[in-house]
Amino acid sequence: MSIYDNARQQFADWGVDTEAAIEQLKTIPISMHCWQGDDVVGFEKKSGSSGGGIQATGNHPGRARTPDELRADLQFAYSQIPGVHRLNLHAMYLDTDETPDRDQIEYRHFASWVDWANEQNIGLDFNPTFFAHEKADDNLTLAHPDQGIRDFWIEHGKRTRDIAAQFGAAQGNACINNIWVPDGMKDHPIDRMAPRKRLENSLDAMLSEQLDSRHLLDAVESKLFGIGVEAYTVGSHEFYLGFATRKGTLLCLDMGHFHPTENIADKLSSVALSVGEILLHVSRPMRWDSDHVILLDDSILAMAQELVACDLLGRTHIGLDFFDATISRTAAWVIGTRNMQKALLRALLLPLDQLRTAEISLDFTTRFMMTEEIKDLPFNAVWAEYCERMDAKCGKALLRELDSFQSKVSVRG
Ligand code: RNT
Ligand code: ZN
């Protein structure tokens, strides 16, 4: 009996069908974020740091400096990740010799990404870039007191919606355009209300045009604090939960954007009662919103378990948001994305019916015994089988691939 057949039998003893889990895992796309490949720098022809409190640390060799380098790195990463893929692009990643300001970007500046994505069978998601720009230096954009600055950013946002909708139309699926603004204050504001009203009005203006939801889905992302906006963020969780509920947008939950002890997985079932669809930025905060590469740890396993147990996979879009430049950037993508997939597979392999039965009968002893006993089931054998069927490497063979690709890109200046 093969290792997989043996594992299949062990799961079957618990009433779990490993084949069904594998088939379902194949259909769950993960939107990989382009910005892990270049430390959130982008391809605008100007210098400067990412700003907005976003901080990539490290100087590992091999940062992608051009769209072609980034695409080559992505292509390698995708080749090591079994399953269906999406790419999450930011507006600062345009591919053109022109130098449009943020309020001048057009679809043609991104057309090469669509050609490449279609060739590679990769769905595209998008984001307006409200940071790393002189008009964002006050850490105020859509909520800025100056109407001219607000209008600039509203125009940027409108253009990204148009571009995202055209991505969606060109690809025949919905592109998510996710709005995150850095707006906030370092010290205690006197007026917490006025900036929030301005943000709401700006968002309304930005989202006013009705676009086809088969091609575009708008999402809004909250944040608790950032460097330089410790005392107050305009777009807090409550702000956007209310906004998304009232306006019908998606709500983006970034795992680094809450108090460090909050359980983000616990929020899914509550949020899902108020909003139609959810976007996740799966990330790993360490003491603060540090955007560490995600591990296969309890927080990720809990997230995946909630998605499966609450039947939310059909209306949750899984995106990643981490960036680490102290290690191989391509390895970070591959290991982090595979960790998300491993977590989903583990969740799909849980004997949920039996666990639910124990719980609903208030038999917490059985529930407890089961959750602990099933931790010893051979999840790794099912993952290895999945990788083999999808032609992706595992273990030492994977490490060799990652290492050899990294040594090729290490020669970049
Ligand atoms: C910032 C937000 C946001 C960004 C990306 C680059 O704290 O998490 O999602 O990380 O847009
Ligand atoms: Zn995020």
Q: How many angstroms separate the alpha carbon of residue 347 from the centre of ligand 2?
A: 23
Cα–Cα dist 246/228, whole Å: 30
Percentages (nearest 5) of helix, strand, coil residues in the chain: 50, 15, 40
Ligand 1 atom, smallest distance to 221 CA: 9
Ligand 1 atom, smallest distance to 283 CA: 8
Name the average pLDDT for the chain.
97
Query: pLDDT tens digit string along 339-371?
Result: 999 999 999 999 999 999 999 999 999 999 999
Any catalytic annotation for residue 186? no
Tell me which of 39, 321, 385, 401 is the catalytic residue.
321
- In 118-226, the DSSP E strands lie at 123-125, 175-179, 184-185, 216-221
Query: pLDDT tens digit string along 172-221?
Result: 999 999 999 999 999 999 999 999 999 999 999 999 999 999 999 999 99
234 neighbors 184 (Cβ within 8 angstroms) = yes
State residue 200's pLDDT score: 98
Any catalytic annotation for residue 223? yes
Any catalytic annotation for residue 281? yes
Which residue CA neighbors atom 7 of ligand 1 most closely? 54
On the question of pLDDT at 225 being above 80, the answer is: yes
Q: CB of 237 closer than 6 A to ligand 1?
A: no
Cα–Cα dist 140/202, whole Å: 12
Which residue CA neighbors atom 3 of ligand 1 most closely? 180
Query: pLDDT tens digit string along 286-340?
Result: 999 999 999 999 999 999 999 999 999 999 999 999 999 999 999 999 999 999 9
Q: How many angstroms separate the alpha carbon of residue 254 from the centre of ligand 2?
A: 5
Cα–Cα dist 63/411, whole Å: 10
State residue 45's pLDDT score: 83
Query: pLDDT tens digit string along 26-68?
Result: 999 999 999 999 999 999 987 656 677 788 999 999 999 999 9
For a ligand 1 pocket test, name from 251, 281, 292 the mutation site with the most ligand atoms within 8 angstroms of its C-beta: 281
State residue 48's pLDDT score: 57
Query: pLDDT tens digit string along 1-17?
Result: 899 999 999 999 999 99
Which residue CA neighbors atom 2 of ligand 1 most closely? 180
**Dihedral, CA atoms, 225, 231, 236, 237, nearest 10 degrees?**
70
Query: pLDDT tens digit string along 67-121?
Result: 999 999 999 999 999 999 999 999 999 999 999 999 999 999 999 999 999 999 9
pTM value > 0.75: yes
